[in-house]
């Protein structure tokens, strides 16, 4: 329950937002949001965006029962960071669902990165074959870093047999991969292909405009997660045809980018299964050990609500941030 006695709007900077998103609580909230989407309980219109010559400004309001009401304003600009990666910058505002009062404003880039990593991890736990051990993370930017951090934080939750998992990082820029693994518990690979071949789970976290993972590199029974590709496809049509497809929402197939996925334009909506239905027990998910499963994430406002609800509660409990009158 929200403490209505607290006055003012809580403001969290980037570090405070990150500190207010413990992995276990975030994963639980994201699962709640995904199930709500699958049941039709979440309220969230397709993302809209205003485009400039250099990027876009997207707006994503949403409501999820048990989690609350929030809205994200986020810019997506290519090659704007020091490392040349794209970035998602902006704010997330969290509101009292009963009276509409703004409760908190927090960093959107952190919210986006961590809720996306949590969503991909929830899908992996639901879809990867039992005993999956080798994990590859493709990319070296903000999203790859968030995914590696979450895997490290949740190893015991994923599977008791995975207490020694050390993900392999694959990237086109080996120097960037080496710098990333020097900071995080992961090993590096010379090429993307080397990282993908033989992997049980592949997390594709890039800003590529063309496929970075080939169907021929993916072994039988692998699970592929694609959370990037804001400006183009991360995988090709042959991979899509060979895989069982899972998405956060139907609009991933039916809506054009930036709301829908580049890779799924023209696909049959009937082929896309909701990951929330798997988490809810309404769909079996993986059907065999040799099945190739594919989770394509486009992001959804309900997931921002999930992360914002956790950040607000934890920040209040821990005394993070400062309040302003708005």
Parse the chain into domains and list their residue ranges: 9-111+302-324, 117-299
Tens-place pLDDT, residues 247-304:
999 999 999 988 899 999 999 999 999 999 999 999 999 999 999 999 999 999 999 9
Dist CA 72 CA 157 (whole Å): 29
Q: Is 291 exposed, middle or buried (0-12, 13-18, 19+ CB in 10 A)?
A: middle
Mean pLDDT of the chain, nearest integer: 90
What's residue 292's pLDDT?
Answer: 98
Q: Is the pLDDT of residue 86 over 70?
A: no
Alpha-carbon distance of 3 to 24, in angstroms, equals 23
- Position 12 pLDDT exceeds 60: yes
- CATH architecture for the domain at 117-299: 3-Layer(aba) Sandwich (3.40)
Pick the range with the lowest mean pLDDT from 5-9, 95-99, 150-154, 268-272.
5-9
Instruction: Write down the H helix ranges in 129-272.
Output: 142-158, 174-183, 192-196, 237-242, 251-254
- Measured distance CA(16)–CA(18) in Å, rounded: 5
| Cβ(213)–Cβ(222) below 8 Å | no
117-299 has the same fold as 9-111+302-324 = no
Predicted pLDDT of residue 161: 47
Helices 23-39 and 301-318 sit at what angle, rounded to 10 degrees? Answer: 150
Tell me which CATH code domain 9-111+302-324 carries. Answer: 3.30.1780.10
By DSSP bridging, strand 201-204 and strand 244-247 are unpaired
Q: Where are the alpha helices (DSSP H) in 20-131?
A: 23-39, 108-127
Cα–Cα distance, 9 to 91 (Å, whole number): 13
Using alpha carbons, select from 274, 289, 141 the residue that is nearest to residue 223.
Answer: 289
Distance, CA of 203 to CA of 189 (rounded, Å): 14
Distance of alpha carbon 278 from alpha carbon 285, whole angstroms:
6
106 within 8 A of 177, measured Cβ to Cβ? no
What percent of the chain shows pLDDT beyond 90? Answer: 74
Q: pLDDT tens-digit profile of 27-81?
A: 999 999 999 999 999 999 988 889 998 888 999 999 999 999 999 999 888 655 5
Q: What are phi and psi of 274, to 5 degrees?
A: -80, 130
d(CA 118, CA 26): 7
Are 248 and 120 in contact by the 8 Å Cβ rule? The answer is no
Q: What pTM was computed for the model?
A: 0.92
Q: Which helix (H) or strand (E) holds 310?
A: helix 301-318
* pLDDT 10s digits, 99-115: 999 999 999 999 999 99
Model confidence pLDDT, tens digit, residues 117-146: 999 999 999 999 988 889 999 999 999 999
Whole-number pLDDT of residue 102 = 97
CA–CA dist 195, 224 (Å, integer) = 13
Residue 262: strand, helix, or coil: helix
Cα–Cα distances in Å, from 245 out to 18, 253, 272?
A: 31, 10, 5
């Amino acid at each position: 329950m929200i403490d209505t006695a607290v006055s003012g709007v809580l403001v969290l900077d980037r570090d405070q937002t990150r500190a207010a998103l413990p992995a276990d609580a975030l994963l639980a909230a994201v699962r709640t949001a995904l199930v709500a989407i699958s049941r039709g309980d979440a309220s969230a219109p397709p993302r809209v965006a205003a485009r400039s010559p250099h990027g876009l400004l997207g707006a994503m309001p949403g409501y999820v029962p048990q989690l609350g009401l929030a809205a994200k304003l986020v810019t997506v600009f290519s090659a704007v960071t020091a490392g040349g990666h794209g970035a998602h910058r902006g704010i997330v505002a969290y509101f009292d669902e009963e009276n509409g009062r703004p409760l908190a404003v927090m960093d959107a880039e952190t919210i986006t990165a961590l809720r996306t990593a949590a969503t991909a991890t929830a899908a992996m736990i639901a879809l990867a074959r039992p005993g999956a051990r080798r994990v590859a993370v493709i990319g070296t930017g903000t999203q790859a870093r968030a995914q590696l951090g979450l895997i490290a934080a949740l190893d015991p939750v994923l599977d008791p047999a995975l207490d020694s998992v050390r993900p392999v990082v694959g990237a086109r820029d080996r120097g960037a991969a080496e710098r990333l693994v020097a900071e995080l518990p992961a090993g590096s690979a010379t090429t993307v292909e080397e990282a993908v071949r033989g992997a049980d789970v592949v997390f594709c976290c890039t800003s590529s405009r063309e496929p970075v993972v080939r169907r021929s590199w993916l072994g039988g029974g692998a699970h592929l997660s694609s959370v990037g590709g804001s400006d183009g496809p991360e995988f090709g049509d042959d991979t899509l045809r060979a895989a069982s497809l899972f998405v956060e929402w139907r609009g991933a197939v039916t809506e054009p980018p930036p709301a829908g996925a580049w890779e799924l334009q023209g696909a049959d909506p009937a082929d896309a299964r909701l990951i929330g239905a798997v988490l809810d027990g309404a769909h079996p998910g993986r059907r065999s050990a040799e099945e190739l499963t594919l989770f394509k994430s486009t992001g959804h406002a309900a997931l921002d609500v999930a992360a914002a609800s956790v950040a607000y509660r934890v920040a209040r409990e821990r005394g993070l941030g400062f309040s302003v009158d708005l």
